[in-house]
Structure formats: C-alpha cells, structure tokens
C-alpha cells in the first residue's frame, strides 16, 4: 500500500530544545494513524511541520510519494492536508456556514458572495460524511462537539484528503467521543487518511490502525495497533512501566463533613434551572466523584460552590460555616483550592510568566511578599521546585505560560492548587489534555491529599478516572442527583445508563413509591 505521508529524519531545533530529533513518520493511505507521546514529546511540532506552520531544520517530507517543501499552511492545504487544532479557530459571531467557507467563499460576478452556493456546498459535504450540523447556527450557540465538526468540515470544504486531528477528544464527553469516532471511520471509508494525536491509550486501541510513539523528541515505537497493547505503548511513551489503575487504601471517616450542600438551586446563563435541590456532603479523607455528561449541571455546581455563580436557594457550608454570600476570594480563604475545568479561561494568565501563575493565589502572603515587597528569590525557588516536582516542561520559569503545551499549562494549575494545602480540593477535569505519565502523577497527588485527610470533590467526564479515584460517586442528570454509588462497586455500564438519564428498574420503582 502507498504512503500518503512520509516524514524522514525530521529534526527541529528551538532555543535550548531539540523538539524533533531525526524522527520518521510513515502513514499509509486510507488508515487511521495514532501519534502518541507525553507532553513535550514533539507530536505537535512534527504535525506543525507537516502542515507548513514552520519548516524543519533537517529531513524530508513526501506527500503521496512526491517530495515537497511546505512554506506555509496554504502549501499544505494545496497538497490536500487539513489540520484541526486543539484550540478551535472559529469566529463565535459567525454562522457555521460562514466559518466553514471563510476565505474560500464562492462568488457571483467575481465580487459578491454566493450565499446559496455556500449553503448548498456545506450541506452536501455534511451529508456526504455524516457530519450533522445546522448550517445557519452561530458558533457561539454551538456545543463543543458541534464546533469540532465545523473544524473538520472546514478541512473537507478545502478538499483535504489527509486530516490531522490534534487531541480531538480532549474537550469532548464520552458520548461526543463516540460520535467523533463514527465520523472518523466514515471519513476513512470514503478514502480519507487520518493522523490522530492523542494521550488516551484506550482511544489508540479502539480507533487506530497503526501507532507511532515519540518520547523527548525521538521515535520510540512504530507498530500496527493490533500487535501492541496499552501497557506496551505506555512504556514506549514514558520509558518505564506506568500504573494505569490507582492503588488506594480504604479510609473510614466518622468526622464532620468539610463541605455540606443542602437543597441547592441555581440557574444557568440563560436563566434556566441548572441545579435542582442538590444535597450532598464531602468528609475529610474522602474523594467524592461527580459523573455526568457535560452540560448536566456539573459546571454550575462548581461555580456556585466557589462563588462564581449566584445561589438562588439552598445552603453551602465549609466546616459548618455558611458561605452563601462570600466572595470568591473569601471562599478560597476558608481552605478551598480549585482546579477549574477550563485552564485557559479560569486557570491561567497566558501573558504572565510560569512563576507568576504558580504564585498568583498566594503572591500577597509570606514567604513571597512582606509589607507589599516581593521576595523574588523565594518566588523563583518555589517555582523551580514545582516545575521539577510536577515535570513542567520548560527551559525557564520566567517563560510565559502561553509558550507551553496544553498539558504543561494544566500541570501549572494542578501544582498551584494542590500545593495550597487546602481542606477541600475541587478538581474539575484535572487530567484534561495531559499525557499518561502525568495522569498517573496527578492521580497520586489527589490520592495523597485524600490520605492526608483532605476532602476532594472530583468532577470528570472520564469514567475510568471517576471509578478509579472515587470513594463515592454522584451521578448527575439534568441538574439533579440521579444516584449516589459507593466507588468500590461502581459499574461502567450502570454509570453510563445513569448519565444518560436511564434509571434501573429497581430505582425507578423506589422513586415512584416515594413520589406517592
């Protein structure tokens, strides 16, 4: 079978870093090829070279057997290559059609955009590849999964035959991921070639035909997926055996709860009820997991607890103290740390340095400042300690956060919030976009916090993560708690059904009796 893509001996230098060190990548025509590796392993660098965003310092690129030089992304598009980036490049106020056709609009009389032809072309491509969308919807009104479909349609509209998907599932729910996989398989069945960058080993095994592994800029593995397994891929990625399941001891806590929620009601941004009489508690030494499809009240719950969203009714207590009217800063001072689900919007200042982001929540306290005067030596010492401990891949603590990969940005947020030594750690999607080795490390840190008597409220769309870490699991659906399950007996199939609002017969009967 012919190769759609051959990248031979690709080397790329950045100041103080060899991002790609003589890397080979060979992708067969009509296959799904997984490209995996830790954060900073060189995956995105390699794909950016293929897409023409920069040129490699050494090596050769061939497309369908022909040697090419990509001077820009336009060159790549002309060669039939499309790329869907981790951070979508869409204009919120534009419609789906306008975003897809932007820069390549069909014209009438050379001057006027042919709106009918635009709409017709987008609908035809959408129908052909099974990418269901409402062409007239504005992007700002679309869910994340739909926005991703729009990005894929943009590449298909420009006649891409080779699609690069960079961490496409990092912002998707399990259901949206399943839909994406159907789309990818359909694309390949219709003759497309897909390069799939991911950290998630289960996805590699489920979707890919071949896997290429990078570690620290070098090629460490290249195999048909059917001839390998998750453990072997993890070893190739990290250079050692990786614990894919968390080992934790049972903890019996008879102490008073740290967090108490009573009959909590709150609304979403549209004024509709997002939380409907939610009640639960989290005790010291306990991880309470919250499972649910994104958009069922989890985000509003966290925002309400942390003071970012107004409480309509109900009570929130920290160590028996009511905090309903507290400001976000005052709530944090009660002993709460918060790893937000969106690191870009809520967790980081991308224009600030790594040091500044690591101390932003405690910059006004000792040892970092006294009487308004910063101790820059202490700040640098603390930052270097966390950079080393959490393996934040950077050449300098004074680099801006925007210079890091998404996974390394996440490590900054996790390091800062865990090192605050909170009584209650709220961890929302704590491992989103990070590699397998970092997931293992973050899980260990969360377990350590729990074993030290901290209360942990864990929100995750990753069922494996919820089931592995949680002592108890709350399942939410349409703003309500459907069921609370002991973590040790949680079943993935049952959780999936509950997340979809399908309550087992025994529970339905009980609910009907109680309703009477």
For residue 406, name the pLDDT band (cuts at 50, 70, 90).
Answer: confident
- d(Cα 229, Cα 507) in Å, to the nearest integer? 38
The CATH H-level superfamily of 246-335+423-516 is P-loop containing nucleotide triphosphate hydrolases (3.40.50.300)
Residue 423's pLDDT is 95
| Cα-Cα-Cα-Cα dihedral sign, residues 217, 220, 226, 229 | negative
End-to-end Cα spacing for the chain: 66
Domain residue spans of the chain: 3-238, 246-335+423-516, 347-421
For residue 247, name the pLDDT band (cuts at 50, 70, 90).
Answer: low
- pLDDT tens-place string over residues 205-241: 999 999 999 998 999 999 999 999 988 998 898 887 7
The Cα diameter of the chain in Å comes to: 77
CB 67 within 8 A of CB 43: no
Residue 328's pLDDT is 92
State the average pLDDT for the chain. Answer: 87
- d(Cα 236, Cα 221) in Å, to the nearest integer? 6
Q: Quick one: average pLDDT of 277-295?
A: 91
Angle at CA of residue 283, ends 277 and 286, nearest 5° = 110
Which of 27, 75, 30 has the alpha carbon at shortest distance from 49?
75
Residue 244's pLDDT is 58
Collapsing DSSP to helix, strand or coil, 433 comes out as: coil
Q: Quick one: average pLDDT of 398-412?
A: 87
- d(Cα 227, Cα 283) in Å, to the nearest integer? 45
Q: Quick one: average pLDDT of 409-424?
A: 92
pLDDT at residue 299 is higher than 80: yes
Which has more pLDDT, 116 or 509?
A: 116
Q: How many CB atoms lie within 10 A of CB 443?
A: 21
pLDDT at residue 115 is higher than 70: yes
Residue 242's pLDDT is 66
Q: Which of 98-107, 239-248, 488-497 has the highest mean pLDDT?
A: 98-107
For residue 246, name the pLDDT band (cuts at 50, 70, 90).
Answer: low
pLDDT at residue 376 is higher than 50: yes
Collapsing DSSP to helix, strand or coil, 139 comes out as: helix
Residue 1's pLDDT is 60
Which has more pLDDT, 448 or 144?
A: 448
Which of 291, 261, 259, 295 has the alpha carbon at shortest distance from 426?
259
- Domain boundaries 3-238, CATH class: alpha beta
Residue 516's pLDDT is 45
pLDDT at residue 25 is higher than 50: yes
Q: Quick one: average pLDDT of 115-131?
A: 87
Same fold, 3-238 and 246-335+423-516: yes
pLDDT at residue 293 is higher than 90: no
Q: Quick one: average pLDDT of 288-299?
A: 88
- pLDDT tens-place string over residues 495-507: 878 887 877 654 4
Whole-angstrom Cα Rg for the chain: 24
- pLDDT tens-place string over residues 35-58: 998 877 889 899 999 999 989 999
Burial of 427 (0-12, 13-18, 19+ CB in 10 A): buried
Q: Quick one: average pLDDT of 457-484?
A: 90
Q: Quick one: average pLDDT of 313-323?
A: 94
pLDDT at residue 510 is higher than 50: no
Residue 514's pLDDT is 47
pLDDT at residue 336 is higher than 50: yes
DSSP state of 489: G
- pLDDT tens-place string over residues 381-392: 999 999 999 888
Residue 513's pLDDT is 45
Residue 243's pLDDT is 62
Residue 132's pLDDT is 85
Which has more pLDDT, 253 or 121?
A: 121
**Percent above pLDDT 70 for the chain:** 94
Which has more pLDDT, 253 or 441?
A: 441
Residue 142's pLDDT is 84
pLDDT at residue 461 is higher than 90: no
Which has more pLDDT, 461 or 75?
A: 75
Residue 171's pLDDT is 66
pLDDT at residue 434 is higher than 80: no
């Amino acid at each position: 079978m012919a190769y759609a893509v051959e990248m031979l001996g690709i080397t790329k230098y950045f100041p103080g870093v060899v991002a790609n060190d003589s890397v080979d990548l060979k992708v067969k025509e009509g296959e799904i090829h997984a490209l995996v590796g830790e954060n900073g392993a060189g995956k995105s660098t390699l794909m950016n070279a293929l897409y023409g965003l920069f040129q490699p310092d050494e090596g050769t690129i061939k497309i369908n057997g022909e040697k090419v030089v990509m001077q820009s992304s336009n060159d790549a598009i002309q060669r039939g290559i499309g790329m869907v980036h981790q951070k979508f490049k869409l204009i919120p106020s534009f419609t789906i059609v306008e975003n897809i056709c932007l820069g390549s609009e069909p014209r009438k009389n050379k001057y006027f955009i042919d709106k009918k032809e635009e709409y017709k072309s987008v609908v035809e491509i959408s129908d052909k590849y099974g990418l269901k969308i409402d062409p007239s919807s504005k992007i700002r009104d679309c869910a994340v999964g739909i926005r991703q479909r729009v990005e894929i349609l943009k590449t298909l509209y420009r006649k891409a035959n080779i699609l690069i998907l960079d961490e496409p599932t990092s912002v998707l729910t399990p259901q949206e991921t399943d839909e994406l996989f159907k789309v990818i398989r359909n694309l390949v069945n219709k003759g497309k070639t897909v390069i799939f960058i991911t950290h998630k080993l289960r996805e590699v095994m489920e979707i890919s035909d071949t896997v290429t592994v990078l570690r620290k800029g070098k090629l460490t593995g290249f195999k048909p997926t059917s001839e390998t397994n998750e453990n072997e891929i993890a070893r190739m990625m990290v250079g050692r055996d990786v614990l894919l399941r968390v080992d934790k001891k049972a903890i019996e806590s008879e102490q008073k709860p740290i967090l108490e929620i009573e009959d909590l009601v709150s609304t979403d941004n549209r004024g509709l009820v997002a939380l409907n009489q939610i009640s639960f508690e989290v005790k010291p030494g306990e991880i309470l997991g919250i499972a649910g499809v994104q958009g069922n009240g989890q985000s509003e719950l966290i925002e309400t607890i942390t003071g970012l969203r107004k409480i309509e009714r109900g009570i929130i207590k920290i160590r028996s103290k009511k905090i309903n009217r507290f400001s976000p800063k005052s709530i944090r001072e009660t002993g709460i740390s918060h790893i937000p689900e969106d690191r870009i919007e809520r967790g980081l200042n991308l224009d600030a340095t790594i040091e500044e982001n690591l101390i932003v929540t405690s910059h006004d306290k000792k040892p970092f400042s006294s009487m308004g005067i910063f101790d820059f030596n202490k700040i640098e010492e603390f930052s270097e300690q966390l950079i080393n401990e959490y393996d934040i891949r950077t050449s300098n603590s004074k680099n801006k956060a925007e210079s890091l990969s998404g996974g390394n940005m996440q490590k900054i947020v996790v390091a800062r919030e865990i090192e605050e030594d909170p009584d209650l750690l709220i961890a929302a999607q704590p491992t989103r976009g990070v590699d397998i080795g970092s997931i293992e490390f973050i899980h260990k840190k969360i377990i350590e916090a729990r074993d030290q008597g901290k209360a942990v409220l864990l929100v995750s769309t990753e069922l494996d993560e919820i089931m592995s870490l949680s002592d108890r699991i709350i399942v939410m659906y349409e703003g309500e708690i459907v069921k609370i399950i002991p973590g040790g007996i949680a079943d993935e199939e049952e959780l999936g059904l509950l997340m979809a609002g399908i309550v087992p017969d025994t529970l339905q009967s009980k609910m009907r009796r109680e309703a009477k």
